Structure formats: structure tokens, C-alpha cells
Amino acid sequence: MLRGIKIALFAAAFTLAALNGAAAADASANDTARLLAGMTVSSNSPLARYANDPAWKQHAQYFNTAWKKLDDGQLTKVRAWADANIKNPQDTLYYMFSGPDFLYADAFFPKAKTYVLAGLEAVGPIPEINDRTRHWLSNLRSSMNTVLNFSFFITRHMRDQLHDSQQLNGTLPILYVFLARAGYEIRDVTLIQLVSDGSTKPVDHSLRGRAFGKAGSGVKIDFMDAGGTARTLYYFSTDLSDPGVKKTGLLPFCEKLAPGDSFLKSASYLMHGYNFDTIRDFLVERSRTVVQDDSGIPLRAFKGDWSFRPFGNYLYPLGIFPNTYQPKLKEMFAKAPKLDFGVGYRHRPNESNLMIAVKNNVKLSQ
């Protein structure tokens, strides 16, 4: 009889765990994003029961503190600078070499309707919360440490942290956190694959449980701002070098959304060489405004009629990026207005630089 009771209790516990797991799997992407961001979810959410878990409370406390520090010391200043200096923003923002950095894409270009981000980092599966997730929250926090403190991701560090996490891997958990903390509501998330003609096709939903890393793989996130405006974020995992970018369909995809604006930050000076001419020339030809630090498009590549506005202080690039110093840029920045925030590899405010390049003699959308 005792054995029968034990079996019954085990069966009940197993059933309850299964039901809880099924309920968590049915949670909305928005609730998942809010929980990953250390934010509250509604009391009727399948994820509400996790709010009292000590690991989640610690996670929430970390993000609450980190975001207040980041917003007070950095993002508020970035938004004020962008509002004062970036005029006639386009509906589309191209942010190449971005990784999952929606944080700064949104801070500099909050009026964009469509964001196109691209980098080498894998998309990963669509996040799902369950009882095991609590063990990987520290990996998520660690993967975001440099962007929260220095404004850029260290790709290898982020990849190592997320690769070790059996659940929260790829860029999607980070994108979720940024969207939730920016106050957006996620409405739909779809894994997609680029086709060579620039179209996209949805990926089999069974890939939710494993990494999604094929070249040209991506995600489409439909979200809504506080005013009810529908917006879209695309992130593509792809090689942006000349051989790579010509294979995936990324440029035909971006062409359909042109003209746009471009944002470039901590881009490893890749477009200063000669293996990234294709993506560089596309951005110059299809952008109305380019906002970048000196690691982006070299001054010599801005063909046509452009106006340039420098901000901050242009110093020699870090030693790990040889042969990228631009004497003409030094002259341009000689009397540039100061920046009151840091951005890019030289993340201290008195060392950072930004340039706004505006294409002249074109009709800008309002």
C-alpha cells in the first residue's frame, strides 16, 4: 500500500511539473521578455509564479540597478543628443556589424519603424522559460556586461557566455531584454531565413529547441510602442564581407526598405579595408544620414555630395586596429562640439567621437 501511495505521489508531482512546463511554454513572447529583463508580468501570466523565486529576484535587482545607472548616466544623454542633432530620420535604420545591440539603435533612432541589424552572432532558439532557466540567468547578465558599461559587445565574450547556457543562447534573449527595458510590447516573433532574391521564409517551428545558426538566418520581431505604433526589428546572423554578403540575399532585402539611415559603432574598422566594399558602398548609396564613430565608413568612401558634422574628440584608433588613422578626420574634429557621453571603443566621454554625415540634394521623407 505504501508503495502505491509513493507511486501516486510521484505521478501527481510529474503531472504537475508537466502542466507547469506546458503553461510556461504557452507564455507570450512579451511576458518572456519582461521576465528575462527582470520586470513584472501580469498576475494571470503563466510565468507569474517565477516572480517570487530568489534567483529571479536577484536577477531583477541587478537589472533594475544596472538600467537606472545606464539610463541616468548614458541613455538620457544619448537621446537628448539624437533629438537635437539627427534631423529628418527615415523609417528604416540599417545597423550593420551590430550584434544584438538594439539598445543603442533605439536610443539614437527612436523614430525608426523598421530596424535591420546584422552581425556574426547566431540568432539562437526562441526563448522559453521553465524551472531550469534560473540556472542560466547569470550567463545572460554576463553576456550583456560590456554593452551596459562600455556601450559595445565583445563578440567572443558574449558568444562564450551564451554558448555555455543550454537555454538562453544566441542573440534573442538579449534582444528580448532590450525591447522590454525600452518599454515596448512584443507582439510576434518569427524565425526566418533569407532567400537570395531578398525575400524571407519562416523557419520550421521545431527549431525552437536548438540553435539556429545557418548563414542568413534571422528573426523578425513585431513590437508596439506606448503610442500604439507598430514597428519591426530584424536581426540577421550573416557574414558581411564581400564574399559572404553577396550570397545571403541581405542586400536585396535591405534594398526593398531603402532609403534608410545608417548607424555604425564599434565596427572594428572593417570597412577601412578592401574586403567589405560591397556593404560599405551599399550603405553610402542607400543612406540619407549616417551616424557613426570613426570605426565605421572611412571619410574617403563617402562618394557624392555629403555634409559632415563632427562631435567629440578624434584620437588615434586603438593599437589593435593598425593603419586606420585618418588625418583628414583629425582636421575635421579640431573644433568639434563636445560629447557629454561616451560611445564606441574609446568609451570615455572626453575620448569618444561621433560624426553625422547627411546626403545633400535629396528629398527626405518626413
Share of the chain above pLDDT 90, in %: 67
Q: Report pLDDT digits (tens) over 266-306.
A: 999 999 998 999 999 999 999 999 999 999 999 999 999 99
Q: Is the pLDDT of residue 126 over 50?
A: yes
Q: How much is the pLDDT for 334?
A: 95
Q: Report pLDDT digits (tens) over 300-359.
A: 999 999 999 999 999 999 999 999 999 999 999 999 999 999 998 988 878 999 999 999
- Per the confidence metrics, is the pTM higher than 0.85? yes
Q: How much is the pLDDT for 210?
A: 45
- pLDDT-derived band at 140 (thresholds 50, 70, 90) equals confident
CB 140 within 8 A of CB 177: yes
- pLDDT-derived band at 206 (thresholds 50, 70, 90) equals low
Within a 13 Å sphere around the CA of 284, how many CA atoms are in the beta-carbon half?
A: 19
User: d(Cα 158, Cα 171) in Å, to the nearest integer?
Assistant: 9
For 95, the domain range is: 2-290
CB 101 within 8 A of CB 152: yes
Q: How much is the pLDDT for 131?
A: 87
Query: Is residue 49 a part of any domain in this protein?
Result: yes
Q: How much is the pLDDT for 134?
A: 80
Q: What is the residue whose three cell numbers read 537570395?
A: 196
Cα–Cα distances (Å) from 172 to 80, 125, 177, 289, 365, in that order, read 28, 7, 9, 28, 31
Task: Identify the residue with better confidence: 220 or 146.
Answer: 220
Q: How much is the pLDDT for 142?
A: 79
Render 208-271 in DSSP notation, one character per residue: GGS----TTEEEEEEEE-TT--EEEEEEEE---SHHHHHHHSHHHHHHTT-SEEEEE-S-TTGG
332, exposed or middle or buried, with CB in 10 Å at 0-12, 13-18, 19+?
A: middle
Task: Identify the residue with better confidence: 69 or 114.
Answer: 114
- Look at strands 353-359 and 185-194 and give their pairing: unpaired
Q: Report pLDDT digits (tens) over 4-18.
A: 444 433 333 333 343
118: how many CB neighbours lie within 10 A of its CB? 26
130, exposed or middle or buried, with CB in 10 Å at 0-12, 13-18, 19+?
A: middle
Q: Is the pLDDT of residue 22 over 50?
A: no
What mean pLDDT is predicted for residues 115-142? 88
Number of domains in the chain: 1
Query: Is residue 355 a part of any domain in this protein?
Result: no
Least confident range from 62-71, 253-262, 305-314: namely 62-71
Quick one: cell of 296? 565605421
Query: Is residue 211 a part of any domain in this protein?
Result: yes
User: d(Cα 54, Cα 137) in Å, to the nearest integer?
Assistant: 12
CA nearest neighbour of 279 among 304, 252, 299: 252
CB 306 within 8 A of CB 289: no
CB 140 within 8 A of CB 174: yes
User: d(Cα 29, Cα 171) in Å, to the nearest integer?
Assistant: 15
Contacts with 70 (C-beta within 8 Å, 6 or more apart), sequence order:
148
Q: Is the pLDDT of residue 145 over 80?
A: no
Q: How much is the pLDDT for 108?
A: 97
Query: Is residue 158 a part of any domain in this protein?
Result: yes
Q: Report pLDDT digits (tens) over 73-122.
A: 899 999 999 999 999 999 999 999 999 999 999 999 999 999 999 999 99
Least confident range from 173-182, 221-230, 355-364: namely 355-364
Query: Is residue 307 a part of any domain in this protein?
Result: no
Query: Is residue 351 a part of any domain in this protein?
Result: no
Q: Mean of the per-residue pLDDT values for the chain? A: 86
Q: Report pLDDT digits (tens) over 159-195.
A: 544 454 455 678 999 999 999 999 999 999 999 999 9
User: d(Cα 3, Cα 10) in Å, to the nearest integer?
Assistant: 11
Query: Is residue 332 a part of any domain in this protein?
Result: no
User: d(Cα 73, Cα 347) in Å, to the nearest integer?
Assistant: 13
Q: How much is the pLDDT for 362?
A: 65
User: d(Cα 28, Cα 228) in Å, to the nearest integer?
Assistant: 18
What mean pLDDT is predicted for residues 22-40? 85
- Look at strands 92-96 and 114-119 and give their pairing: parallel
What mean pLDDT is predicted for residues 113-137? 90
- pLDDT-derived band at 363 (thresholds 50, 70, 90) equals low
CA nearest neighbour of 101 among 293, 302, 277, 284: 293
Query: Is residue 336 a part of any domain in this protein?
Result: no
Q: How much is the pLDDT for 118?
A: 97
SS3 66: helix
